[in-house]
Structure 1
Amino acid sequence: MRPALSRLVRGARRIGYQLAAVVAALVAVAVVLAVRHGSAEPSGTATGDVVRVGVGQGASIPAYLRDSRDRLDAMPAGQSGYALVSLAGYLSPGELVPVLAGVETFQVYARVPLPDVQTAIVKIPVATIPDDVTAGMDAEAGERARQASRAGDQVAATEAERYRQHCACVYAAVVRAPAGTLRQLAARASVRAVDPAPRVSQLDLAVFLPPLPEQSDTAQPPKDSAPLPSGSK
């Protein structure tokens, strides 16, 4: 595929990611405004009430990490709830097993970390680890391969190959556990943050925005300035 057309394809993919982020942000703003005007019930009690958990674009990563620690410390000892787990690095399905041991995991977030390339963020529903994670990666590999075949997208081809290899690509998870267990989870070496989400009662009414492992200052989309990959590594 000619470089100019390949860059147009990548540009279209970026627009799609940005549009999804804008929609999520608009939903979050609508919820905040509804609460301020008293037209929405407390989170978790009203159908259609969306809760946003994580760090918004442009927000301070150090402040988010500090605030999530404070929220976890303030969680009552006997309380159980959902939490967003941000990892210190990208892990493979097998590496997740000891990290998330002892908690119920519902979904993980993954992306293929290519230098200076904005790759797609994938949400994988899970019940068992690592089996459901590898199955989700296999499904995503098929989807990325079809994209590569349709559009000659070299980035998608590389993503497909990495997912087929069950890559170290997972960087966050949504779990549920008692407060004490969540605090133990936060102390594990591979865990960057555990952000409790007591207002979440239904996962389909929540938007999770975990920071990427490489983000240390502010939450910004990954750079997308590298040359097109000439092939998979």
Structure 2
Amino acid sequence: MRHSPAPLSRRAQRGLTLIEICIALLIAAVLFSAVVTGVGAITGSKAKATTSELAGVIRSLYETAALSGKTCRLVFELADPKSDDASRYHAECAEGAVTTARDREGALKDENLSREDEARRGKDERRNFTQSGSGAPGLKELMEQEQHRVEQAARFSSYTGEEVAPRELPSNVSLSVWTRQQKKAVDQGVAYLYFFPQGYTEKAQVYVRQGDNVWTLTISPLTGKVSVVDEELEVPRS
């Protein structure tokens, strides 16, 4: 007598439900995202993309200074490497030719202190405006403050072009900047890279990091050419 096979369980007969399929797809998507993120961190893909963009910006600003007859500079706002803040950079140009300080490290320290003073002064001014009576600033003081603000803004003003736009970097990508007037690379605070109307720039190296991956951009002062290597080069000895 032939025996019929044992009946399958109800779960096996009905297969997977729509909810179970959705959960499986969600788990697969999460795992895929984790793999992509891990591969990106290993290869330093964001840092590599930032390096390419920065090389284009540097070359474009070099040409802008040479053609316009103005001194331009790339302003780096470098976040503390220990924080989760993002670094930024943007371009500025002066109305004419401007020279740079020989003591770059001292100038950068003064610039950071000046920014802190301006921030405190701005808070004091706002607080004074909200106060009444003799504590409010007089007309002469307000005019002097406004004149100081205009003079500061007139030195360098923001510049944007098709290839030069303000940029905020991914939080896991950090920068450090060295120029020939510095003893070591600056990795936090403000840093500058100048471009002059005579058709030259500063000898400089910019380091782009993501995890253990480092790219070094070396800028030629006479041609503005940018060379990129996928390693951290030593700061040249003067």
Give me the TM-score of the superposition, normalised by structure 1: 0.27
Flag the structure with larger Rg.
2
Structure with larger RCO (C-alpha < 8 A, sep 6+): 1
Q: TM-score w.r.t. structure 2 length? A: 0.27
